[in-house]
Amino acid sequence: MRVHTFFESLPFTADPYQVMAAEIVEMGRSVVVTAPTGAGKTLIAEAAIHLSLANRRRVFYTTPLKALSNQKFRDFGAIHGSDRVGLLTGDNTINHDAPVVVMTTEVLRNMIYAGSDLSRVDTVVLDEVHYLQDRFRGAVWEEVIIHAPPHIRLVCLSATVSNAAEFTDWLRSRRGPTELVVEEHRPVRLERWWSVWDRFDREVHLLPLYMEGSGGIRPNAAIPRLLARRGGRRRRFSSPRRTSVVEHLAFLDLLPAIYFLFSRAGCDDAADQVVATGIRLTDTTERDEIRRRAEEGTSHLAGSDLRTLGHDRWLARLERGVAAHHAGLVPAFKEVVEQLFCDGLIKVVFATETLALGINMPARTVVLDRLSRFTGESHELLLPGEFTQLTGRAGRRGIDTVGHGVVLHSPFVPFERMASIARLGSHPLRSSFRPTYNMLVNLVANYSRRQAERLLAASFAEFQDRRGRRRGNGSARRSGPRRSTLLERFDRARRLLEQRGHIRDWALEPGGEALRVVYNDLGLLLVEATRDGVFDGLRAPELVALVSAFAYEPRRDADEPEGWPTTPLENAWCRLVDLAEDLAAAERHHGLPVTRFPHPGFAWLAYAWALRLDLEELLDEGSLAAGDFVRTTRSVLDLLRQVGDAARVLGTGDLESAASRARQAIDRGIVTAGGVV
């Protein structure tokens, strides 16, 4: 087989499961691969790329994150040559006709709906396919699986899930011959530890969470006995300080480490605390190399912007071998941290859980500051599958023989509960598929009504629902056929779009055609605002400000700003609110989930940025992290492009031109740099 040539060219021996999965791909079948984090699933994708290139065909590699797409673009470019690898993320379009194209999954979904020519694409890699259970974006993965041309084989790469066979059965029902390859073995063994601060001994203790005995592996009984010791009126044991944990790990030669905190501010504070204690984890040679590469990685940013971003503070951390990593950092800072950590120059990264979502940053040790996190509404304990995902980065293949997962003591989590979370379990994959307005109009555009209903009935959500009914008490059989909730919701949404003039007799009106090219979750409101002239007559800064209300979502409940920069903008906002309330009333009438309201919390910043105010003037009060500013502004950029597309469909040329001018007004400086790979 051709794929064996690929594996024989490697400087190491591939695992049997990697070879098996690649052989399945060469036979022209789709494949689902589930394996622990760090087990080498990407090698299967590389083998699939090798096969496609050898056959003079194209291959698409999709990821859930722009940052991960950027990373894979660089990796594949180094392997195959930059001229043979492209990138499509919304932020970037590079070599879009290349034989290997890396993209976010949404981009592929949009290409399929737009009728793009995919005849030369023989393979699509869906990396992190377990993302289909994400309640906000998961439906995109199912849309791709359902609608991709039948000649395309899928390579689905997933973290370990407990119902992989069920998912494979569904995929086989949609795509034809499909095989499941399961790898349960971690290439680097994981040791799990419990860490506590002893007030009597004034030191950090590190004890194994599990012990092996005649009855197998059991929770370490010595830990509850230790905790039973009292220290008089004062509690003897407490959670160790972060600086003490870092010092102890350094002493035990357990660095580099990823230290997970569930707070951005906590990550920054922890990095500063380590630096303030005088801990230095790097030598002179490493510090020189860190400084050189940090300056090289930020050379495209203006000096004034670097000062506003706290470049000197950031660099001081790096030179000591310490960094923070979270969504509040600008892309350039995050990418430098990722590259330095992967090369062993950064020894400790304090990170939020977003780091666990696919970015390649393996460590010798992973520390969990706590086993609970705030979900936005309440504090909840981690599930075993989430613990497995976070600690999956521990142990660098080819470097470490064992990885270490450390859980810090908490007086609020009983040891038995802690031990049950740390059992390295997996959780089932559950569909989050729901019909959206954009999905509905694309179904109307591409299929007959009966075909569209069949496609919805072919979703993983319906597949799981049918299996659930079969395992039930038989009431469905006693009652005869019942219509699925998915199709009922589809019909309710269709009736709403008909009522509001976007569909007529299973054909699209101009509003429906415009809705096909708008992918925001407020897309229907955006199209109706465009159709009703809400944006008409606004100057570029005003248009930027109003469109930002569709892109911005506050991280927590936030008050709306008082007043608006201009009277025309305030009037347009009032019209938009009236339209949003009318749409919400219609959704309630049809029994549909109510679309979230636009939020003006970013409007003043967007308006000022469009007027070319400096970054320092905008962010001087610290109301918004620089990374959030860049990410939101780039979302506004993409949304303005969609407004222009919708305006063109609706025949409002003035708005199309205004949207283009608005994009030019904000695509500058640190925002432009945020899209640089």
Q: For 486-534, how does the pLDDT look when each residue is reduced to its tens digit (9 = 90+)? A: 899 999 999 999 999 999 999 999 999 999 999 999 999 999 999 999 9
| Block residue for tokens 């592929």 | 108
What is the average pLDDT value for the chain, to the nearest integer?
Answer: 91
Which tokens hold the place of 638? 């993409």
Q: Which CATH number does 2-182 carry?
A: 3.40.50.300
Query: Average pLDDT in the 529-549 region?
Result: 97
Q: Residue 45: which of 91, 81, 80 has the closest Cα?
A: 80
| Single-letter residue type at 378 | S
Beta strands in 183-279 (DSSP E): 189-198, 203-208, 210-213, 216-219, 237-238, 257-260
SS3 553: coil
Query: Average pLDDT in the 302-306 region?
Result: 92
| Single-letter residue type at 500 | R
Rounded Cα distance between 248 and 255, Å, is 10
User: Among 290-304, 355-369, 575-589, 594-608, which stretch is predicted with the lowest mean pLDDT?
Assistant: 355-369
φ, ψ of residue 309 in degrees (nearest 5): -80, 0
Q: Given a cut of 80, is residue 163 above it in pLDDT?
A: yes
Burial of 212 from C-beta contacts in 10 A (0-12 / 13-18 / 19+): exposed
Rounded Cα distance between 425 and 387, Å, is 8
Residues of the chain with CATH 1.10.3380.30: 517-677
- From residue 203, alpha-carbon distances to 39, 63, 196, 243 in Å are 35, 43, 8, 12
Sheet holding 93-94, edge to edge: 93-94, 85-88, 100-104, 58-63, 121-126, 153-158, 30-34, 178-182
Q: Given a cut of 70, is residue 675 above it in pLDDT?
A: yes
Q: Given a cut of 50, is residue 480 above it in pLDDT?
A: no
What would the pLDDT profile of 618-658 be if each residue is shown by its tens digit? 887 667 889 999 999 999 999 999 999 999 999 988 999 99
Query: Domain 189-421, what fold?
Result: Rossmann fold (3.40.50)
Q: Is the dihedral of CA 186, 372, 247, 416 positive or negative?
A: negative
User: Among 218-222, 299-303, 484-488, 645-649, which stretch is predicted with the lowest mean pLDDT?
Assistant: 484-488
Question: What pLDDT was estimated at residue 616?
Answer: 87
Which tokens hold the place of 338? 């990722």
Query: Average pLDDT in the 323-339 region?
Result: 92
Q: Residue 297: which of 329, 269, 322 has the closest Cα?
A: 329
φ, ψ of residue 181 in degrees (nearest 5): -120, 120
Rounded Cα distance between 63 and 78, Å, is 18
Query: Domain 517-677, what fold?
Result: Sec63 N-terminal domain-like fold (1.10.3380)
- From residue 55, alpha-carbon distances to 48, 87, 608 in Å are 11, 21, 52
What would the pLDDT profile of 226-266 be if each residue is shown by its tens digit? 888 766 556 788 999 999 999 999 999 999 999 999 888 99
Q: Given a cut of 60, is residue 472 above it in pLDDT?
A: no
Q: Given a cut of 90, is residue 372 above it in pLDDT?
A: no
Q: Which residues contact 487 (CB under 8 A, 6 or more apart)?
A: 453, 456, 457
Burial of 637 from C-beta contacts in 10 A (0-12 / 13-18 / 19+): buried
Which tokens hold the place of 528? 């109706």
Burial of 88 from C-beta contacts in 10 A (0-12 / 13-18 / 19+): buried
| Block residue for tokens 């190491």 | 12
User: Among 12-26, 368-382, 508-522, 559-573, which stretch is predicted with the lowest mean pLDDT?
Assistant: 368-382
Question: What pLDDT was estimated at residue 476?
Answer: 43
475: confidence class by pLDDT, cuts 50, 70, 90: very low
558: confidence class by pLDDT, cuts 50, 70, 90: low
Share of the chain above pLDDT 90, in %: 74
Question: What pLDDT was estimated at residue 554?
Answer: 85
Report the b/e string of 438-474 with b at 16+ CB within 10 A.
Answer: bbbbbbbbeeeeeebbebbbbbbbbbbbeeeeeeeee
CA 8, 10, 14, 20: dihedral to nearest 10 degrees?
A: -50
Rounded Cα distance between 523 and 551, Å, is 11
Q: Given a cut of 90, is residue 109 above it in pLDDT?
A: yes
**DSSP character at residue 359:** -
Angle at Cα 133 formed by Cα 191 and Cα 457, nearest 5°?
145
- From residue 418, alpha-carbon distances to 18, 220, 224, 332 in Å are 34, 11, 11, 37
Rounded Cα distance between 224 and 237, Å, is 12
Rounded Cα distance between 99 and 269, Å, is 45
Query: Average pLDDT in the 209-234 region?
Result: 82
Q: Is the pTM of this model over 0.85?
A: yes
Query: Average pLDDT in the 357-366 region?
Result: 82
Question: What pLDDT was estimated at residue 478?
Answer: 39
Residues of the chain with CATH 3.40.50.300: 2-182, 189-421
